[in-house]
Structure 1
Amino acid sequence: MHTNYEHTWDKLNSRLREIEISGGGLDAALSELEAHQKESGFIKIGLDAVERHNFKHPEYPSRFFRIQYNPERALRFNGSGISTPPPGTEIRNEGCFLCRDNIRWQQQGTEMGYEIHMGETSYYAWMNPFPLSPTHVVIATTEHTSQEWPVCEKGKLEVSVLLNDLVELAERMPGYIGFYNGVNAGASIPGHLHFQFFKRPEDEPEFPLERAARQQFESGEKGKFLKNYPLDVAVWTGKPKAVLKQASQWISGWAAKNKSRIHDLTANFIVSRNTPGDDISLFFVPRDRSKTHGDGMSGLIGGLEVLGELVFSSNEDKALLDAGKIDYFSLEKTLASVRTPFFLEEA
């Protein structure tokens, strides 16, 4: 199996790289990878059953939150692949699900990735078998590097390095939303650094967080801190290099001012670019490690939820929707329950 896997990998990567460099870009390469992974059977579900429900503020209807009801997403709790390797196969890094040497045997050769190079770091793009949106991809370092967020002493990356790769990916993937979930800030694999990206839904391209930021900017409101949102959010919008410099400097200074509690904190970073040549938007949301779940919600609060789209997948979730128990204010309360102030005096 090892030889066949490597042969298939090399052949696929050569084809994907040709697609990328011939003008299609990274988006076209990932779309082709997605098609390959559907055909191989690795991607377990489609998106046909997904329902999106918007809940508007009764007095300010431009403000809204969204529910994604994705019943097939619940299948992820059954896992994917095998947990015991074939005889003679070595388990790496305690069976980490993002290490290529493990993926080869765990998915019995069905899961293939695409190698992406950015500066001094290389990544593998892996398709999510239980997607939340079209072309849902996990972009993980080729090396087994901690997901611990970098302002902590346990983290092994400078915040500028982490943000540089996230921003560069957004530049190469216009029309996608990307995010980094720090440890205990959403679904994550703590031992292996990775980002998640997916295409915007065609029928619902703007997320609540993005709209709140856009409307604040269009109103002439100054400053990086977002108002009229249940979480503390800092946002930078502009040319990629300027955004990267401003955000890295500010977050480093913020971390220094929060040194006494920094080990209790984690974060979500979200980045987006609508079309080639557009400005980049980078969102920073501090999180308390102990607040992993929102009130009234069984799932974790991660990057998608921070964007204002909460995922429901269970029959119990569906019953709440059908009974009219969900509205703008209940979703606002759920997000507000994990709010973490930037500074202690704001608590």
Structure 2
Amino acid sequence: MNWEKRFLKAADLMPYGLPRGAESQHLPLRVQALLAQQRETWPQLRNALADLQNVQTKPHQLGAARWLTQFNPARIVSTSAKVDAATIAARPCFLCADNLPVEEMALAFGDDYAILCNPFPVLPQHLVIAHRQHTPQSIEQHLGALLDVTKALGEEFFTLYNGPRCGASAPDHLHFQACRYDDLPFFAHLAEWEIEPLDEADDYVSYTLPDYPFRVLIAESDDRAALMKWFARATTTLAEVTHVEDEPLINLIAAIDEDCWIVALFARSRHRPACYFAEGDAQLLVSPAALDLGGVAVVPHAEHFARLDARPLQSIISEVTLSDAQFRQWIKTLEQ
């Protein structure tokens, strides 16, 4: 089944709460109707959302930051995903239209993207925004699309991107994700905490959060072109500092506040921590990506969930993100 056959039109969504008239084109309302339609017609998603209501969570305090660990057995598919070239080449792409479950439908976004419901959700309204073509995961030429969908979804959602070597379980197919803004602890900290200013230009500001458990680079702007220019410079200098020739290891989250974009860039030192590959009681199967670094760390095994407390969680986060010295070197290079 191709994309055109999967796209739901306004008339398809009206039985699921989409209003008539001009409001029928409002993306947040279309998303709510899509979620309702898919819950009713797609048993896999309906069961996954029911299971999500019963997942166990534990609160942790990482310094001043509030964190959650979530025992989510269904996420073993993503947490344990093999992303080497041979494995990827040997399996059908699960984001291509022809390979989706027959019940899975979508919303068209622009000419290039499809908005889908995530059948392995971490948060209640968990969306996937997939490119319609089978093109590799890369942010370099596609940040503009991420900003556009962030703005269209509005203030109730945030979007995220996981790099092909640090969290994307489909590194061969370009995609973003989106979840409800209020469901990620990071944004509460962003609203509450003092910032450390880094750069203030006419068309953007950048800063970090000194009390966050690792160094994160954040920029705000109402100028799409300026934000894209800043991002290109930030990733180019990060690649230099971390000595990589292609896309540096990054996760990012983005949100919109009125007409101002907020983009948080999580720079990585490695994909998975050493405890992921350990054996016996030393193993903790945690594979951090954007949601984990934003305050919801997913653990698919019950025993590992029981053992994971604040100390090893902080150790994992520190291991897979830049050290303070590396971050300072990056910022110094960026400001030159």
Q: What TM-score results when the alignment is normalised by the length of structure 2?
A: 0.75
Letter of the 1:34 partner, please give it.
L
Q: Retained in 2: the 8 A contact 1:293–1:300? A: yes
Select the residue among 89, 92, 95 that pairs with 1:95: 92
Q: Retained in 1: the 8 A contact 2:13–2:37? A: no
Q: Retained in 1: the 8 A contact 2:253–2:265? A: yes
Q: Retained in 2: the 8 A contact 1:176–1:198? A: yes
Provide, for residues 176-226 of structure 1, a one-character-per-residue CA deviation record: whole Å limited to 9, x for no partner: 12111011211420111000111145xxx4514651575123xxx322233
Task: State whether structure 2 residue 26 is matched by structure 1 residue 22.
Answer: no
CA distance in structure 2 between the partners assigned to 1:188 and 1:13 by the alignment: 31
Cα 1:315/1:10, change in 2 over 3 Å: closer
Moved more, 121-130 or 137-146: 121-130
User: Structure 2 matches for 1:135-284, cutoff 5 A?
Assistant: 135-150=125-140, 157=141, 162-173=142-153, 174-200=155-181, 205-208=183-186, 211=189, 214-217=192-195, 221-223=196-198, 224-239=207-222, 241=224, 244-245=227-228, 247-251=230-234, 253-255=236-238, 257-258=240-241, 260-263=243-246, 265-273=248-256, 277=258, 279-284=260-265
Letter of the 2:35 partner, please give it.
E
Task: State whether structure 2 residue 300 is matched by structure 1 residue 313.
Answer: yes
CA distance in structure 2 between the partners assigned to 1:96 and 1:52 by the alignment: 31
Cα 1:141/1:21, change in 2 over 3 Å: farther
CA distance in structure 2 between the partners assigned to 1:236 and 1:230 by the alignment: 18
Q: What SS does structure 2 have at the residue aligned with 1:216?
A: coil
CA distance in structure 2 between the partners assigned to 1:310 and 1:284 by the alignment: 17
CA distance in structure 2 between the partners assigned to 1:35 and 1:209 by the alignment: 26
Q: Retained in 2: the 8 A contact 1:231–1:338? A: no
What is the aligned partner in structure 2 of residue 45 from structure 1? 48
In structure 2, the gaps of 5 or more residues are: 82-88, 199-206, 276-282
Q: Retained in 1: the 8 A contact 2:216–2:264? A: yes
Select the residue among 283, 288, 291 that pairs with 1:301: 288
- What fraction of aligned residue pairs are identical, expressed as a percent? 23
Aligned length: 297
Q: Retained in 1: the 8 A contact 2:158–2:178? A: yes
What is the aligned partner in structure 2 of residue 83 from structure 1? none
What is the aligned partner in structure 2 of residue 332 from structure 1? 314
Letter of the 2:23 partner, please give it.
G
Q: What SS does structure 1 have at the residue aligned with 2:197?
A: coil
Provide, for residues 22-42 of structure 1, a one-character-per-residue CA deviation record: whole Å limited to 9, x for no partner: 325212211211122222214
Provide, for residues 254-285 of structure 1, a one-character-per-residue CA deviation record: whole Å limited to 9, x for no partner: 157448433483211111236xx263210112
Task: State whether structure 2 residue 136 is matched by structure 1 residue 134.
Answer: no
Cα 1:184/1:216, change in 2 over 3 Å: same
Letter of the 1:222 partner, please give it.
P
User: Structure 2 matches for 1:2-21, cutoff 5 A?
Assistant: 9=6, 12=9, 15-16=12-13
Q: Retained in 2: the 8 A contact 1:134–1:200? A: no
Cα 1:273/1:207, change in 2 over 3 Å: farther
Shift of 1:101: 2.1
CA distance in structure 1 between the partners assigned to 2:236 and 2:181 by the alignment: 32
CA distance in structure 2 between the partners assigned to 1:253 and 1:74 by the alignment: 33
Cα 1:31/1:240, change in 2 over 3 Å: farther
CA distance in structure 2 between the partners assigned to 1:239 and 1:6 by the alignment: 33
Cα 1:297/1:166, change in 2 over 3 Å: farther
Letter of the 2:145 partner, please give it.
D
RMSD: 3.5
Letter of the 2:22 partner, please give it.
S
CA distance in structure 2 between the partners assigned to 1:53 and 1:305 by the alignment: 13
Shift of 1:319: 2.9
Q: What SS does structure 1 have at the residue aligned with 2:103?
A: coil
Letter of the 1:129 partner, please give it.
P
What is the aligned partner in structure 1 of residue 34 from structure 2? 33
